[in-house]
Structure 1
Amino acid sequence: MASGGFVDFFRKQKLSGELLKKLETTYLTVNAVLEDAEELQVTKPAVRRWLDELKDAVYDAEHVLDEIATQALQSELDAEFQTTASKVQKSIFAFRNSFVEEIKPMIQKIVGRLESLARQKKTIGLTEGGGGKSSEIFATSSLVEESDICGRNDEKDAIINLLLSNEARGNEMSVIAIVGMGGIGKTTLAQLLYNDKRVKEYFDLDAWVYVSKEVDVTKVTKKIMDELSLSTDDTDDIMSLNQLQLTLKKKLTGKKFLIVLDDVWNENYVNWEDLSKPLKSGAQGSKVIVTTRDHEVALVMRASSTHPLKKLREEDCRSLFTKHAFYDGNPNAHPQLEELGRQIVEKCDGLPLAIKAIGDLLRYELDVDEWNKILKSDLWDLPIDKTKILPALKLSYKYLPSHLKRCFAYCSIFPKNYIFKKNKLVLLWMAEGFLHESKNMTMEEVGDNYFSALVSRSLFQQSSGNKSLFTMHDLVNDLATFVSGKFNLRMEGDYSGENANKVRHLSYVREEFDGFKKFEALYKTKLCTFLPIDLSHSYFSYLTKKVPHELLPMLKCLRVLSLSLYRNMTELPDLIGKLTHLRYLDLSSTRVQKLPDSIYKLCNLQTLILSQCGMLIALPSDMWKLVSLRHLDITGTRITEMPIQLGRLKCLQTLTKFIVGKGSGSCIEELGKLTNLRGSLSILKLQNVESSIDALDASLRNKKYLEELVLEWERDDNFSESQKIVLDSLRPHTNLKSLAIKYYCGRSLSDWIGLPSFSKLAYLRLQNCYYCSSLPSLGQLPSLQNLSIVGFNEVVRVGSEFCGSGGSSSVNSFGALKVLKFEVKRRIARPSSFFNQTSDY
């Protein structure tokens, strides 16, 4: 609403500014009670209904505002692209007038809905800034029943070894952080450590302080003093922070202390610095244990050791459940319940809080039907007064900033145990409008920060050691489902149409054959997301043609559309051009042969994924009109030439492949205009570059965000002297991490390839450069780990010059090398002795 283009369009079309002001004011009014509504919706159905209506109205408002923003953008593009006379201009003007008449009552209707909701807030008991104190019901103490604990012995022993050690920087106390999601057992482990006999004997003083969301340093300092029995009378309540800390410092001086700060949320470095000042007076060996859900807290507190808690092992889960669910501790006496108990434990997915809570709920219940009811129920349906599962986990959501709440709730479209990719999720968030560009960061960088914040808060977990793959704990997934409500639909089987008027984001598990019955009820929805999920790992599926040709063109609000992996998907209907809100389109691994010409009308499209579309041979000629396009993946396609004027796509960051043409509109100069390229880029048909000037126009040296680069010529049986000049001019930025050069026909490679200034280059592949008779000096590339040299049939000797450093073999040459591959079709002489290899490669 505040963007220049939006306001200008509003003014030019004589739309009432009062309407916008009214919309803004009403929105702020309901936003003020939003926190209270989210807290009370758990126990008050009326508040839940009010909140659903509010979300629905805001979705509608967003869509209308996006309609206006899209029309404003389209007006700018019409002015830029039009080459026609006044007749066309009159047609455009008439369309705009009709658009204004159509949009005005829509805004009025939305304002009316929001005003009505704002009037209801007092009736249903909502207050501004409410809902902030419920976490106090979780205040902890140091007491623990050790016989009630299962597992965590390894973690306990590791941390006790640290507690009993004297390692420290000078006389400073050291901080040990225990990090993990809500209910994972951080406080229980801290209690075990705090009450251990060896620990009690080792420290002169100890204190247990429940912190939670407290940010007042004075109050936390006072709590520490209370625990250390330093507070003597009511005058402490009026003492300044300085007086409190002087008293605390005097008490701690020369004493070895242990302080547990339980459930810390505060990420403010200044607060921790102020709090820790008197703590630095303790004797060497003093320790602070902090428990937190947020890795950022551990960083802010400069933890010398961080211990991320993982889920309980399966056998520990079963033991814990048995202790709580069977009053005699013997499940063998109840064989039917034992099997149900095993399934209930699986449902709790290694979370001790859930296991204990449900076990306690069933402790004196021997009715099989009741156990079945618990097994089949949603964990959020369990009595809130008897279990703390929902409130404990919901704190993780409650204390998220509003921009992260929306991103987290969106993730309920993923099935349980689904492994998702960080980069893909960020692109989905961007398409849904959750991310906004700033002066210093792109939307993608903002999304990366949001993602890292959710990982830091233990809501996302890294999967299987792969840094790009993540998952959510089952109960965190349940939490996302709860807070997203009726607006996210994870469809399993056919959809009945329940709450169809509310559903905005849809995912479904792709099956081998997806017939129309599965999607029939979606006509009633205002979908923003249409996302098939692959769980079966079958490479291809089949989708009824009614979906792309009849259903999708009716979903005018779509922002995210994926038809990936459908084997029978050979074309998109021309009507796709009417989905003007579309930001994300994934057609990867389909048999699409061409894209409809109407695709140029998708002026908001940000991401277009065409990878592994093996039948696709060309892109539409008007691709240059997709002015919002940021990511274009054409890996694995049969495209042989680029559309003209691709350099006009100024927002483009990802371009996986560029085929150099001979025409002026598709020459390598177009690459030079794409100043924001990053990630991976393959430049093919480099034989079409005629001069060094043309090669310099690609501006590879200025593309500092490119990490992987492939330079490839077409295979040729003729030696080419000009290719050396071209390669010299294609020198990339020194930030490059991976480089491949293929089918180059010069006699020698460029000197820049071995320069030590390419300090990040880890992977280098030189392939089928048949006429090269020598190799560049590669030994001084400091980060080179993987070197592959294939098809250099003219090379007969590899000497010490290969090491670099003036041709002398050096101990520092190839210092990081882990993988070396030589592969040629002839026998060559032994290389320098530093390889310590035989003469056959």
Structure 2
Amino acid sequence: MEAALVGGAFLSAFLQVLFDRMASREVVDFFRSRKLGKGRLLQKLEAALRSANAVLDDAEEKQMTNDSVRKWLDELKDAVYDADDLFDQIAAEDLEREAGSEPRALACKVWSFAADACRSKLGDELERVLERLERVVEQRHVLRLREGIHERTARALQTTSLVEESGVFGREKDREAVIELLLSDQGEKNTSVVAIVGMGGVGKTTLSQLVFNDGAVKGSFELRAWVSVSDQFDICKLTATALEEFSSSSKKETENLNQLQLQLKDFLTGKKFLLVLDDVWNEDSNLWDAFLVPFTYGARGSKIFVTTRNEGVASVARAVSTYPLQKLQDEESWGLFAKHAFDQHNFEARTRLEDIGQIIVNRCDGLPLALKTIGSLLRCESGIRKWEIIAESDIWDLPPGKNKILPALLLSYHYLPPQLKRCFAYCTIFPKDCIYEKDQLILLWIAEGLLKQPNGNRTLEEVGDQCFCDLVSRSLLHRVSDVESSFSMHDLEASDVESSFSMHDLVNDLARYVTGRSFFSLDGGNAHHVSSSTRHLSFVRTPNDVASRFRVLAGAMNLRTFLPLNVGRVELYLLNLLTDEVLHVLLPTLRRLRVLSLSHYWKISTLPSSIGCLKHLRYLNLSYNRSLLRLPDSVTALYNLQTLILACCQSLVELPSNMGSLTCLRHLDIRWTPLKRMPLGMNRLKNLRTLTNFVVPENDGTRVRELGELGNLMGTLSIQGLQNVDSYQDAEIVNLQGKRYLKKLALKWGFDDNIMRQNSLNVLDKLQPHLDLRELIITSYSGRSFSDWLGQGSFSNMSVVRLESCKHCVSLPPLGQLPSLERLIIEAFDGVTSVGAEFNGSNCTPFQSLKYLKFAKMCSWKEWASFAIETGGLAFAHLQELCIRNCPELSGGLPTISLL
């Protein structure tokens, strides 16, 4: 029941989006076409919703002590979801009508709705939704809900850089004490257990990370490993994770516990190790004893370091030492709060607010998580009244529930702007210890319609990026460190650690606390709660997902999200199968899906044509499927589709011919998928932001011109098959210089291309990118020399250059002129015999930022002329690694380079 609380705050954000939908052209035109106009049905709908919205503030607070109000909010939420689904259906039908003149595959026609009948049904359903809404809203009088109790703050944080995770307060003595426990020789056994016990939010994980990375600790243990446990004490998974952490190498993957423990025993025997088990809840001594067996073979002094909220866990683990972590003292509490609440330059505001701040700090009761979260909430608020409202809130006096949600966290959520409420609440769909990869999460937010359409020149992606950064700056998300997490939501391979984030366990509890029954995990043991009120579903993949597992979804006809997840790195290598029955029977019943992921199900060879019925679908992920041979033509009837991820589909060689009809498509990820050509009409995808690869077909090089009409491309673009481009004029029309938002560009000619060398140079001349480009890759280029633009110092942001298999080039471009170049890789230049001053460039300090330099497979390279001394020793001043491999003719003549 507790999970349904604070639903009013979630609804207030939802309604703002719904009001925008009601004012849209498609909805207004629909009502006019039915001769209903805004004067009757639509006006009554809006009035009912605004009447509900007016009392949400009062309902939000009363529901915490009044069960009837909580039930009323649940009913209202269901009705609002139904209204949103219908308005979305109206917009979908409008898109289908606009695309009606385009050629349609027979399969699409079979599965499409009859337009007139559908519009008639939509009108009838809207009238039923109105009746339900009016019935629910009328109950507000019985519940005595009042309008406008508190003024809701909608002020969003300004775009800021991410908050640096530093400045731990008041833990130095704790750190020293715990390190002493770890380094001391305790007990009679080789391996002993040390436990930190403390309440949620007191800083157990932070202290453990400080200790884990301490220099003395690193030097005292031959092996170290960090395993995040949480409430699932699965011996097999934990053993496999520990083995992988200790060995740092690929092992034979198995689910056989006996084999895993034997491997771990062999690896640890005679070695002194430290294993951190963070956030342990298991109180079953039999499970613990079974898990512990292979660790007993470590060398004397080995330690298992457990963090837990429960002293019973430390007892079951037979800890030889238990360290109780206390709350912060007053001085440290104020220091941590002030670090996050005050701009260091705004001394005037700090002086006025310190007295109120002290009251808030006292109410946080010495808990670092509460102090940090509330401080972050108030960082951009310099008005005394806002601070007073938070200090005086009744939420501080709520009795702790079963999940022990901190009042400070509830307040942080309560005062989020509406859009941030929805984005934060959506994170409920991911389990504890899950890693959020920023860009992928933003795409899900967009697909679910959680982001408000921007004004001016901003994109939805930029709005999502700001929301993400705001959640980080408010300490509701935090950057993942090297020792955190064994759980990833990202369906592709490991992402850049700089964009990986997670939630504290209590913050995750808060997200579940505010969303209620609309979010559901198939692995939560409460399958009987799956109903028409369930809108978002996640589940952990198993090696064989059969239809019986999903039968509990029979009543979930309103599902919006179907999201499978991988647990840990080990399971990425297991074969995941999804039976055909699931695809062909279940999917056609889920016609309100916005998000559908079938990634990592490696045996899906075909999709049912009925996928074209999913008119609401915005996000489709089929990545990492080894068997997918083709997409049905009905996919091109998904006119709302915004994101299509087909990365690493190793058997997919072509896309449907009518891809150009997906005019809402913003992101097409086809990395590592061996497409032979692009379908005609890609130039119609005017909204496309991401196109990871464009394949120029053989005997039709003019098709590269289609890229010229895609002016909004951002991120990464690879152009493959450039040997098929006959005319430099075709390359010029691509207009790479005008694509300022591209960050990474790969230009690829065909392998072993021995013809048209001069033509290749002309084509490369016209493929000059925008000066903001950061990374450039050129592969199998067949010219004898490079274009003049390559190496120009005006490319001031270019940090990575990779030149590969350019076998006919006889000299290198002046890459030393690139002022920000940090990584340079040159491979397989068969024609280069000498590297001299031309590589350095002129009138500059060469390679002033270079950190990594690699030469490989240079079969004719004989001499590297010394020029480091000529430039006063400033060349390669920051070089950290120089790698020269497979250069058999190179002998002597190397410049003097001192590595850092």
The question of a shared fold, defined as TM-score above 0.5 by the shorter chain, is answered with: yes
* 1-structure distance, mates of 2:433, 2:811: 52
| 8 Å Cα contact 2:112-2:613 kept in structure 1 | no
Match of 2:866 among 820, 832, 840: 832
Match of 1:480 among 496, 501, 511: 511
Match of 1:703 in 2: 739
Partner SS for 2:688: coil
**TM-score scaled by structure 1?**
0.71
Match of 2:850 among 800, 803, 817: 817
CA RMSD, Structure 1 to Structure 2 (Å):
3.7
| Change beyond 3 A, Cα 1:625–1:150 | closer
The percentage of aligned residue pairs carrying the same residue is 43
* 2-structure distance, mates of 1:572, 1:93: 16
Match of 1:749 among 782, 786, 798: 786
Letter in 2 for 1:580: K
1:560 Cα deviation after fit: 0.3
Partner SS for 2:601: coil
Match of 1:729 in 2: 766
* 1-structure distance, mates of 2:551, 2:426: 23
Query: 2:411 aligned with 1:395, yes or no?
Result: yes
1:117 Cα deviation after fit: 1.6
* 1-structure distance, mates of 2:169, 2:351: 34
| 8 Å Cα contact 1:39-1:131 kept in structure 2 | no
* 1-structure distance, mates of 2:51, 2:35: 26
| Change beyond 3 A, Cα 1:218–1:536 | closer
1:830 Cα deviation after fit: 2.6
Q: What's the CA shift string for 1:202-261, capped at 9, x where partnerless?
A: xxxxxx9x999xxxx99998887x89xxxxxxxxxxxxxxxxxxxxxxxxxxxxxxx968
Query: 2:439 aligned with 1:423, yes or no?
Result: yes
- Once the two structures are superposed, the pairs formed by residues 638-787 of structure 1 within 5 Å of their partners are 638-662=674-698, 667-719=703-755, 720-787=757-824
Q: What's the CA shift string for 1:487-535, capped at 9, x where partnerless?
A: 0001117763324121000000111111222100212111000000110
- Once the two structures are superposed, the pairs formed by residues 556-595 of structure 1 within 5 Å of their partners are 556-590=591-625, 591-595=627-631
Q: What's the CA shift string for 1:670-705, capped at 9, x where partnerless?
A: 111111101111101101111111001111110000
Match of 1:293 among 370, 374, 391: 374
Letter in 2 for 1:775: L
Match of 2:499 in 1: 468
- Once the two structures are superposed, the pairs formed by residues 52-201 of structure 1 within 5 Å of their partners are 52-78=74-100, 80-81=101-102, 95-130=114-149, 152-153=171-172, 189=328, 191-193=330-332
| Change beyond 3 A, Cα 1:293–1:832 | farther
| Change beyond 3 A, Cα 1:156–1:742 | closer
Aligned length, in residue pairs: 643
Letter in 1 for 2:147: E
| 8 Å Cα contact 2:334-2:358 kept in structure 1 | no
Match of 1:532 in 2: 564
Q: What's the CA shift string for 1:275-331, capped at 9, x where partnerless?
A: xxxxxxxxxxxxxxx976354855788xxxxxxxxxxxxxxxxxxxxxxxxxxxxxx
* 2-structure distance, mates of 1:615, 1:699: 32
| 8 Å Cα contact 1:548-1:572 kept in structure 2 | yes
Match of 2:290 in 1: none
Partner SS for 1:789: strand
Q: What's the CA shift string for 1:727-780, capped at 9, x where partnerless?
A: 000000011110011111111001101111100100001111111111111111
Match of 1:512 in 2: 543
Match of 1:802 among 835, 839, 856: 839
1:101 Cα deviation after fit: 1.9
* 2-structure distance, mates of 1:580, 1:443: 21
| 8 Å Cα contact 2:835-2:863 kept in structure 1 | yes
Query: 2:597 aligned with 1:597, yes or no?
Result: no
* 2-structure distance, mates of 1:636, 1:220: 53
Partner SS for 2:126: helix
| 8 Å Cα contact 1:642-1:666 kept in structure 2 | no
Partner SS for 2:834: coil
* 1-structure distance, mates of 2:658, 2:429: 34
- Once the two structures are superposed, the pairs formed by residues 386-465 of structure 1 within 5 Å of their partners are 389-438=405-454, 439-464=456-481
1:39 Cα deviation after fit: 2.1
| Change beyond 3 A, Cα 1:119–1:816 | same
| Change beyond 3 A, Cα 1:94–1:637 | closer
| 8 Å Cα contact 1:542-1:566 kept in structure 2 | yes
Query: 2:644 aligned with 1:608, yes or no?
Result: yes
| 8 Å Cα contact 2:747-2:779 kept in structure 1 | yes
Partner SS for 1:51: helix
* 2-structure distance, mates of 1:222, 1:665: 68
| 8 Å Cα contact 1:542-1:568 kept in structure 2 | yes
| Change beyond 3 A, Cα 1:432–1:101 | same
| 8 Å Cα contact 1:645-1:665 kept in structure 2 | no
Q: Which moved more, 1:770-779 or 1:826-835?
A: 826-835
| Change beyond 3 A, Cα 1:536–1:804 | closer
| Change beyond 3 A, Cα 1:499–1:711 | closer
| 8 Å Cα contact 2:583-2:608 kept in structure 1 | yes
1:54 Cα deviation after fit: 0.7
Partner SS for 1:773: coil
1:183 Cα deviation after fit: 7.0
| 8 Å Cα contact 1:264-1:291 kept in structure 2 | no
* 2-structure distance, mates of 1:40, 1:297: 25
* 2-structure distance, mates of 1:394, 1:31: 20
Partner SS for 1:832: coil
| 8 Å Cα contact 1:211-1:262 kept in structure 2 | no
1:708 Cα deviation after fit: 0.4
Quick check: which has more Rg, 1 or 2?
1
| Change beyond 3 A, Cα 1:28–1:666 | farther
Match of 1:28 among 50, 55, 68: 50
Partner SS for 1:802: helix
| Change beyond 3 A, Cα 1:101–1:717 | closer
| Change beyond 3 A, Cα 1:42–1:619 | same
Q: What's the CA shift string for 1:359-386, capped at 9, x where partnerless?
A: xx9xxxxxxxxxxxxxxxxx7326xxxx
Match of 2:578 in 1: 543
Match of 1:380 among 401, 406, 412: 401
* 1-structure distance, mates of 2:380, 2:139: 44
Match of 1:14 in 2: 35
- Once the two structures are superposed, the pairs formed by residues 185-334 of structure 1 within 5 Å of their partners are 189=328, 191-193=330-332, 262=360, 293=374, 295=376, 298=379
1:668 Cα deviation after fit: 0.5
* 1-structure distance, mates of 2:333, 2:546: 60
| Change beyond 3 A, Cα 1:625–1:663 | farther
Partner SS for 1:697: helix
Partner SS for 1:102: helix
1:156 Cα deviation after fit: 12
Match of 1:309 in 2: none
Partner SS for 1:497: helix
Letter in 2 for 1:424: Q
Structure 2: gaps (5+ residues): 1-21, 153-167, 177-199, 207-325, 364-370, 383-396, 483-496, 869-874, 877-881, 885-889, 895-900
* 1-structure distance, mates of 2:598, 2:113: 36
* 2-structure distance, mates of 1:82, 1:513: 38
Q: Which moved more, 1:508-517 or 1:710-719?
A: 710-719
Letter in 2 for 1:527: L
Match of 1:307 in 2: none
| 8 Å Cα contact 2:743-2:774 kept in structure 1 | yes
1:786 Cα deviation after fit: 0.6
Partner SS for 1:764: strand
